[in-house]
């Protein structure tokens, strides 16, 4: 019996390493958004690229929830807008972070959201200098869009009290009020060609409002960068219009091993075709821009990959 027990113990010890699994939980957003399909694509990639990986995809309320979950170790990688990452690192209670989230580490910058300010042509608005006294919708209270609105308007020297009317509405509701001439403009943080603005442009003449690079610099947050909305993005838009873009990031935490973080980073960039097949937004994921504006320290595993590829010298 003793010999049998020893033999069994040795057999279990021998096979235990082969059975060890690496759990990779991907934190995304709502199932109807962009993060969720991209997260499913990542989980598929990681299941093949990481030895003994058991992957999962979790639908969440997106940026703020993802970062708080990562800080708690309740996920290995998550999607977030760059300004939320900056606010999490600093500990901005108003944005949803009761204390600084110092366990967060960066994997990669991915694709941008554009802050798109769209006015009715009849309002006469062309740039942010024309907004004072107008009627605006800035997104749901404390949503990502509304936090973006506060930052950009402040950089332009404006606060909500400078408007004759401020509504806190979702994209579709904002568009409906503009169609009914109850609002002059809407600010929406989304990917280019967002359906709500396309719908508006098909119903009334619009102006895509310019936000100058000088205004963007005054936001004083590296996650906010100046980028154009290309001409033809919306009906009646016959020229490029400068505005603000905020990069999305893939974020992990310090408890993830260097080997896993390295594999997550490497396999992302080696499988961009899989990402693009899941959602067109992934077309804007560029290796050479992976570190642009990164608001938190890189994970050492990710840093190793970028050094190997020459992005970090």
**CATH classification number, 22-110+248-308, choose in 3.30.70.20, 3.40.190.10, 3.30.2320.50, 2.40.110.10:** 3.40.190.10
Residue 2 scores a pLDDT above 50? no
Average pLDDT estimate for 258-265: 98
Confidence band for 303, pLDDT divided at 50, 70 and 90: very high
Is 247 in contact with 111 (CB distance < 8 Å)?
A: yes
How many Cα atoms occupy the beta-carbon half-sphere of 262 within 13 Å?
A: 11
Q: 194-219 b/e with 16+ CB inside 10 Å = b?
A: bebbeebbeeeebbbbbbbeebbeeb
Residue 36 CA from chain centroid, whole number: 12
Cα gap 296→201, rounded to integer Å: 38
pLDDT at 8: 46
- Please identify, in words, the CATH class of the domain defined by 113-246: alpha beta
Q: How open is the CA angle 87-252-221, to the nearest 5 degrees?
A: 25
Domain range summary for the chain, segments of one domain joined by +? 22-110+248-308, 113-246
- φ and ψ at residue 37, rounded to 5 degrees: -65, -35
pLDDT at 192: 81
Question: In residues, how long is the chain?
Answer: 313
Mean pLDDT of the chain: 90
Percent of the chain predicted with pLDDT > 90: 73
Residue 7 scores a pLDDT above 60? no
Is 213 in contact with 242 (CB distance < 8 Å)?
A: yes
Average pLDDT estimate for 248-263: 97
Cα dihedral 180→184→188→192 (10° resolution): 90
């Amino acid at each position: 019996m003793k010999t049998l027990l020893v033999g069994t113990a040795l057999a279990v010890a021998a096979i235990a390493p082969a059975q060890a699994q690496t759990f990779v939980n991907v934190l995304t957003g709502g199932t109807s958004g962009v993060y969720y399909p991209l997260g499913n694509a990542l989980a598929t990639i990681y299941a093949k690229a990481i030895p003994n990986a058991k992957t999962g995809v979790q639908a969440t309320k997106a940026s703020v929830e993802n970062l708080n979950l990562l800080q708690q170790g309740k996920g290995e990688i998550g999607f977030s807008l760059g300004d939320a990452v900056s606010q999490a690192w600093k500990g901005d209670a108003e944005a949803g972070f009761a204390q600084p989230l110092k366990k967060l580490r960066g994997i990669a910058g991915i694709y941008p959201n554009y802050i798109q300010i769209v006015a009715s042509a009849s309002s006469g608005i062309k740039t942010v200098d024309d907004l004072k006294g107008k009627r605006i919708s800035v997104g749901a209270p404390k949503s990502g869009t509304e936090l973006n609105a506060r930052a950009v308007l402040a950089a332009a020297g404006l606060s909500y009290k400078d408007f004759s009317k401020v509504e806190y509405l979702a994209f579709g509701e904002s568009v409906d009020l503009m169609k009914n001439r109850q609002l002059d403009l809407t600010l929406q943080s989304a990917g280019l060609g967002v359906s709500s603005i396309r719908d508006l442009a098909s119903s009334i003449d619009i102006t895509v409002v310019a936000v100058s690079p000088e205004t963007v610099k005054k936001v004083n947050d590296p996650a906010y960068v100046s980028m154009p909305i290309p001409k033809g993005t919306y009906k009646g838009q016959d020229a490029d219009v400068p505005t603000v873009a905020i990069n999305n990031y893939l974020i992990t935490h310090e408890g993830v091993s260097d080997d896993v973080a390295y594999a997550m980073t490497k396999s992302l960039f080696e499988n961009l075709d899989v990402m693009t097949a899941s959602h067109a937004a992934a077309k804007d994921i560029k290796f050479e821009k992976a570190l642009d504006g990164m608001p938190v320290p890189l994970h050492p595993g990710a840093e190793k990959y970028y050094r190997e590829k020459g992005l970090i010298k």
